[in-house]
Amino acid sequence: MPYPVTGRPERPAVLFALSSWQSSCLRAQLCRCLSAGLAFALALCSVLAVVPPASAQGYAPYTVVGGTTASARGGVRVIGNDSGGRLRARFAEIRQIRSRGDRIEIRGSYCMSSCTLYLGAGNVCVSPATRFGFHGPSYKHRKIGANQFDYWSRRMATYYPPQISSWFLTRARYVKKGYLELSGADLIRMGVRAC
């Protein structure tokens, strides 16, 4: 259909008309579809809220076993094969774990760097076979100053159980390359609960 000279398209003819009964049926069907879609979306959101993202801030994935419950005790997290990550993000995560009362089970082959901070999350157990790698604080692309080194070392130490904290401050924080490793069995002898 050609457009008039004004440049405005002509209004198309109404192709069909609905009776009021058909219109109300269509609205009811649309409401049922939207309700079902909303219920599905809410269910999906609740599932996704229980399972944390596979990789947040460069962390290795962890598994939620049992999920978060409505009770004050929280859920169970199994940590394994975690090579670490950024301190501030890990501090925030551990504070959340403590506030929810989640139980942490550290299993797998290794738990390195900031992963070791989970040892101070509260209700924690470790597998005797897991290797734990400790080292002092560092910046990725620049040298850390003495004051910053001391500040971050002491802050990290507050996240460890007392015996591990004193060991960290006297030995492990001075490791700048690589890790000072302990096995889960070593940590159990230092007072950490076995899984």
**pLDDT per residue as tens digits for the range 35-66:** 444 444 434 333 333 333 333 333 344 443 33
Domain-located, residue 101? yes
Domain count, the chain: 2
Domain-located, residue 186? yes
Domain-located, residue 131? yes
Q: 166 with 146, same domain?
A: yes
Confidence of residue 12 (pLDDT cuts 50, 70, 90): very low
Q: 73 with 155, same domain?
A: yes
pTM over cut 0.85: no
Nearest partner of 134 among 92, 166, 104, 103, judged by Cα: 166
Domain-located, residue 5? no
Tens of pLDDT, residues 96-107: 998 888 999 999
Q: 42 with 134, same domain?
A: no
The domain that holds 112 is classified in CATH as: 3.90.226.10
Q: 105 with 157, same domain?
A: yes
Q: What is the extent of the structural domain holding 42?
A: 19-51
Q: 82 with 103, same domain?
A: yes
Q: 43 with 69, same domain?
A: no
Least confident span in 51-65, 119-133, 180-194? 51-65
Domain-located, residue 9? no
Q: 104 with 32, same domain?
A: no
